[in-house]
Every structure is written in C-alpha cells, then in structure tokens.
Amino acid sequence: MTHVPARDRQLDLLYSDTETELRAAVREVLADKAGWRDVLARTETAETYDTALWRTLAAEVGVAGLLIPEALGGAGASYREAAVVAEEIGRGITPVPFLGSAVVATTALLSAGDLELLTELASGSLTAALAVPFATVPGRLPAPTVRIEGARADDPTATYRLSGQVLGVADALPADVLLVPADGVPYGLYAVRVREAGVGVAPVVSLDQTRQLGDLTLAGAAARRVASGPAAEAAVVAALLAGAGVLASEQFGLAERALEVTVAYVQERRQFARPVGGFQAIKHRLADLWVAVTQARAVARSAANGLVNDNGTETELAVALAKAACSDTALKAAQEMIQLHGGIGFTWEHPAHLFLKRAKADSIGFGTADAHRASLARLVNLLPPSAS
C-alpha cells in the first residue's frame, strides 16, 4: 500500500488519491471474498469472524498496520485512511476485527508506546482487542472489573496475575492479545495472551452476528503491564475516542450502501405497470435519506480529520457529532431498506436484516446517539432544560 505520512491537515472532507486507491483495493478484496451470501452463511456457524479474510486484508492490503509507523513495520497512515477502510467494512457488513484491532487496540498501544505489540500487529501475525464493553462511551474511563493479584500494582518488574470478568467485548473472539484495564494503585493497562492459562473468552448470542461479542473471564491469568497511572488512563481514553470516530465512518458506509441497494431495487420493482421508484411518496423518502447520508459523510469525515489533528475538545466535539448523526442515519437507512423492499426485505434470504442488525449494534457501540448528544451539550456548556 502507498505510504501516507500522518500529518496535520486543514479540514478537508474530500478523499485524497491515496484514500481512493486504498478504497479500491479493499473493495476488490471484499467483493471477491465476502459477498453478502458468504457473510450470511457465516452467521449460521460457530466461526462468525472471517479470520482468513482478515489475514488477506492484513497481508495483501496492509490494513492491520495502517496506523502504525513505518519504523515498526506499519503503513504510517492516519485515521482518514482508517476511516475509508471502515466505510468499506460497513458497506459489506464484513465480519473482520478491523475496528477492535487495527483502530482501538492499536490506538491504545500507540498512546502507551508499546513497541513490541505494535510490531506484531503491523505484521498481521497478531490481532488484539481492548477489553472494555462495546457500549462504553468515550470521554470517561470504564470502571475496572478486573483486579491485580500476587504483585504490587506499582512494581514495574513484577509478574502480574489478573482476575475478573469483562462482558460484551467487541472483536475479542478472534483476538490473540487482550488489553485489559485493571483496578489498582495506580490504574493500569495490561496485555494478556489469550492462550495463557486462566483466560477464557466465551461468545455471546449477539443481535449482530457479523460482530459477535465475547465475555472475557480471567482467573489468575499472567499479564504484562503496558502502562500505568495517567499513561494508562490516557491510552484507554484515546482508544475509545478513536473507536467512536472510526465507527461513525463504518455507519456512514453502511447507510450509503443500503441507500444504493434500495434505489436500485425500486427502479426494477414494478407495480401498476411502472417502477415503484416513480411514485412520489417513494421519491420523497429516498430524497430525505440521500440528504441524511450526505450529511453523515460530512460529519464522519470531519471526525476522522479531527482524530488526525487531535485538537482536544474540538476533536471530541467532532466525534460526538459524527457518532450521534451516523447512528441515526444508519438505522434509518437500514429500516427504509427493509420497508421499501416490500415482502422480500423481511426475509432471511435478503441481506437487509444484516444491515439492520449491524446498524442497531453500531448505534450502541461506543455510546448511543443520545449519550453523544449529552456529550455535545457538556462540551459546549449547554445546560439541561431543568437547569436553564
């Protein structure tokens, strides 16, 4: 993949040539190896994640190390490029751990400066996940549900043992390493190898089987400390913010594809000797949806741009706005997709339900739309109605 230096940019919502080339490369792989029928078939198996596809994307396109510096074997790209990949994954409702490993876990490790794991992630030989509930809202540290045993938390040379449970972790099932926030003085972030004794990851029956959640259980599991104190807190906060920002781009991609499929269908489906897309009521609904999708693209691109420039509160505002807007738009697009497809849209044989399930799950991931609207109000010092 062509190298893109991670540099400060002015607000530019247009796609660069490199981003367009990256999109084409990812779309080609997904079209060849992850059509919606393949995705649907996989949801009915025990292996809901497509690990073979993930290895292909990591090795041939380099998406696993997209955010990792070239010196560590990565692409040295930025969140703008990561957002483009997320758009394509949303369009294809693709069951790969890009968000959890290449964005969230990678951001945490970049913040903590853990070169060892970053090098393994860049090569694609390792997949990681941050062990926090998928519904965790950015801007606040999740309360640790894992404790440290057998060593002082402030001893950097200690061998650590972790015990506890974390429920509803996204992209934990295919992960080789879990980054676990743990209680202690100070607060810490620890790397746990999944194959170690005392580590269990159990699949959860999830609404969205294309991103099946997992429950993590640790019983005296060996762990290595990645960061502690303020550094660990900063790593988790940065990872959650990046996760929400890039997830907004995934939601936009899903909404855009749902609109495209629906428009194509109403142009073919005929009723009363004319395409149903010619009826005024249908035109109005699709026009409204097109406006919403276009707006979703703008706010998602703004969030990705904000993550690149890291302008503190401005970036938090951009991410909160994008996640709130894109959550609503993706859900609306998926609902309209089902409704405007008529009877076929309600069947298991049509992909519409896959779009709806991913849209609903994504709307909860890293904070609901309402949670992000509350964050927006807090960030701009807008008092609630009862206090005004």
As a whole number, mean pLDDT of residues 68-86 equals 96
Mean pLDDT, residues 256-279 taken together: 82
**pLDDT (0 to 100) of residue 4:** 43
Q: What range defines the domain where residue 256 resides? A: 234-387
User: How would you class 245 by CB atoms within 10 Å of its CB: exposed for 0-12, middle for 13-18, buried for 19 or more?
Assistant: buried
Which are the contacts of 352, defined by CB distance < 8 A and separation ≥ 6?
A: 258, 334, 337, 338, 341, 345, 346
Distances (CA, A) of 332 to 69, 336, 340: 38, 6, 12
**pLDDT of 6:** 43
User: Is there a single domain that holds both residue 212 and residue 94?
Assistant: no
Percent of the chain at pLDDT exceeding 90 = 77
| pLDDT, position 17 | 95
Domain count, the chain: 3
Q: Which amino acid is at 385?
A: P
**224 and 286 within one domain:** no
Judge if 246 and 177 occupy the same domain: no
Residue 7 lies in a domain: no
Q: In this predicted structure, what is the pLDDT of residue 273?
A: 65
Looking at 174, 199, 230, the residue that finishes a domain is 230
- Residue 151, pLDDT score: 61
Digit-coded pLDDT (tens) for 111-135: 999 999 999 999 888 999 999 999 9
* pLDDT at residue 221, rounded to an integer: 95
Residue 206 and residue 347 in one domain? no
User: pLDDT-based confidence at 289, cuts 50/70/90?
Assistant: very high
Query: pTM for the full model?
Result: 0.93
Q: How far is Cα 301 from Cα 367, in angstroms, rounded to an integer?
A: 19
**325 against 345, higher pLDDT:** 325
User: Which of 203, 230, 257 corresponds to the end of one domain?
Assistant: 230
185 shares a domain with 86? no
Please provide the average confidence, as pLDDT, over all residues in the chain.
Answer: 91
Residue 137 lies in a domain: no
Let me know if residue 1 belongs to a domain. Answer: no
Q: Do 200 and 95 fall into the same domain?
A: no
Distance (Å, whole) CA 265 – CA 277: 8
What average pLDDT does the segment 276-299 reach? 89
Do both 196 and 224 map to the same domain?
yes
> 105 is written with which tokens?
């876990």
Report the C-alpha gap between 88 and 98 in whole angstroms.
Answer: 11
Q: The domain spanning residue 53 has which CATH number?
A: 1.10.540.10
How confident is the model over 170-179, as pLDDT tens digits? 999 999 999 9
Asked if 57 and 104 sit in the same domain, the reply is yes
The verdict on 359 and 246 lying in the same domain is yes
Q: Is residue 83 part of a domain?
A: yes
Evaluate whether residue 339 is within a structural domain. yes
- Give the 3-state secondary structure of residue 164: strand
Q: In this predicted structure, what is the pLDDT of residue 386?
A: 66
- CATH classification at residue 182: 2.40.110.10
Question: Domain check: are 73 and 111 in the same one?
Answer: yes
Cis bond upstream, residue 186 (ω within 30): yes
pLDDT above 90 (res 345): no
**CATH number of the domain that 261 lies in?**
1.20.140.10
